[in-house]
Structure 1
């Protein structure tokens, strides 16, 4: 209701109040009652105006307002318990078949091997039994392709348990015509079941046949140089011995004399061998030596060393029993010895005039000596 209407209603009501206040005859409402009614009407109009301003419905006088709607209280939804997904069973593994082979390698004749026409050869495969059945009375059988003169069936010897490997061979002949050839093979069980590899395929032999090349004219091969043998004796003027007390002697004694160790030295003249010669072999014979006392029983081993000593003096004595010997004796020699150490020592001196050696025992005690007289060095060589 707008303001003009409100004031119009109020004006009418006031006029009615004033009219009612005039004296009248008979039973009329009192002034107090009329004023009360007017006041209620004004209150109702004001209330309606207020409700209209607030956008709420206005109740007419004497009409009860509708009851307020009950307040809705939100309640929490119950917590949902997740439902577990049904478990998925693992896939069932595919069972291995009874008869199955795995190719391991070509033992002979790898793919592309070249042969001459009609050349015989043996092809060998290495296979593994990866099935569940033991191979007994099994056979290799030709499947298709180029048979190459081979048999249609080759028995597999022995027994091959699951997991074991076996070499299976077949004798073949290269075709007579040049070209590329391949033959496919499988296995056959004792029950006649033919099977191949894990791939489902057969295994094969693959070769190439080439025509023989014309035989070239033979070129005469020059004969190898003839071996030359020289036999050398020591140079006695350069032989001798050196004792641990510094004493130097002209005889090649090795061993012990009155408790002093002596090392023997031998020198050989190789000046007759030309420079550039190749030493084929070398041997040294000490079997003509003379023993004094229980040399090897008391003094132990005797070692021989390559030692270019030049002119003997006290400094050539070597204490101890070093390694690096070219040969070791544990008893008196009965013949010549050869060793790579001796050969290398001689070869290293080719082109020089001398090759020299030292001889010493493991221990020293009392007088036990080995006189290295008449030692012989034999050298076989070739020249370029």
Structure 2
């Protein structure tokens, strides 16, 4: 059977009513699931817009955990970019000089932060900072993967390579209002495709390739002349 491919450009012109404009959302950290954990499990801090990584005067390590809620993204959203902004932060002591680099890694600790999450396994290493963050970090691949796997949250941990320098002083970085900025296009849920049916043979299958939706097969037998219609879900 003869097949024809209609170009994406042609289809886009025919789909004048389909909105595929990009949307950008700035997500604040979910305070109910974000916080910091001390290495000996003696303290778990949640419910604040300030999050800590470093050590304390008792020479205990502190790790920072952040959760961003992805459930507000529409099903089938095509994420084009995601940036984690940690630039709003303050240093106390000399954490980068005394505790080494700060590691950013993806984790999955679920719906609540507990003492045991201090050592929860890393899902994905993202990067290391040698000094206080001054620009947003591109985390597009990690966020896209998490969303495509069906997870409704993106979670990260920040920790220094050394737990403490044992000097009895605070060495820490405190993050205030970290954000995750996501740009996406919503998947098309329905559309009407039009073409001149007279250019195709009776019963011929026409392949319409739509950006963000994949390919749908439409047979010209059961439609009115000049118009081919198909709902895409």
TM-score (norm 2): 0.63
Q: Secondary structure at the match of 2:80?
A: strand
Quick check: 2:107–2:120 contact (8 Å CA) kept in 1?
A: no
Partner of 1:153 in structure 2?
none
- The DSSP-based 3-state class of the residue aligned with 1:241 is strand
Task: Give the 4+ runs in structure 1 shifted more than 4 A.
Answer: none
Q: Does 1:273 align with 2:52?
A: no
Q: 1:241 aligns with which of 36, 40, 46?
A: 36
* Partners of 2:157 and 2:186 in 1: CA distance: 29
The residue matched to 1:226 in structure 2 has which SS?
A: coil
Shift in Å at residue 372 of structure 1?
1.6
Give 2:147's aligned residue: 349
**Residue 220 of structure 1: CA displacement?**
2.7
* Cα distance change on mapping 1:273 and 1:347 into 2, 3 Å: farther
Corresponding residue number in structure 1 for 2:10: 220
Whole-Å Cα distance in 2 between the matches of residues 241 and 220 of structure 1?
A: 52
Identify if the C-alpha distance between structure 1 residues 371 and 323 changes in structure 2 by more than 3 Å, giving closer, same or farther: same
1:348 to partner: Cα distance? 1.7
Whole-angstrom CA distance in 2 between matches of 1:319 and 1:308? 8
1:244 touches 1:319 (CA, 8 Å); kept in 2? no
Based on CA coordinates, which of the two structures has the bigger radius of gyration? 1
* d(CA) in 2 for partners of 1:376, 1:304: 14
Structure 1 residue 377: Cα displacement: 0.6
Structure 1: 5+ residue runs without aligned partners? 1-215
Tell me how many residue pairs correspond in the alignment: 165
- CA positional deviation for 1:243: 1.1
1:318 maps to 2:119: yes
Q: Report the RMSD for the aligned CA atoms in angstroms.
A: 2.7
Tell me which residue corresponds to 1:34.
Answer: none
2:184 matched to 1:381?
Answer: yes
- The aligned counterpart of 1:308 is 108
In the TM superposition, residue 281 of structure 1 has moved relative to its aligned partner by: 0.7
Q: Structure 1 residues 288, 270: closer, same or farther in 2, change over 3 A?
A: same
- Is 1:229 the counterpart of 2:29? The answer is no
Contact 2:24/2:183, CA 8 A, preserved across alignment: yes
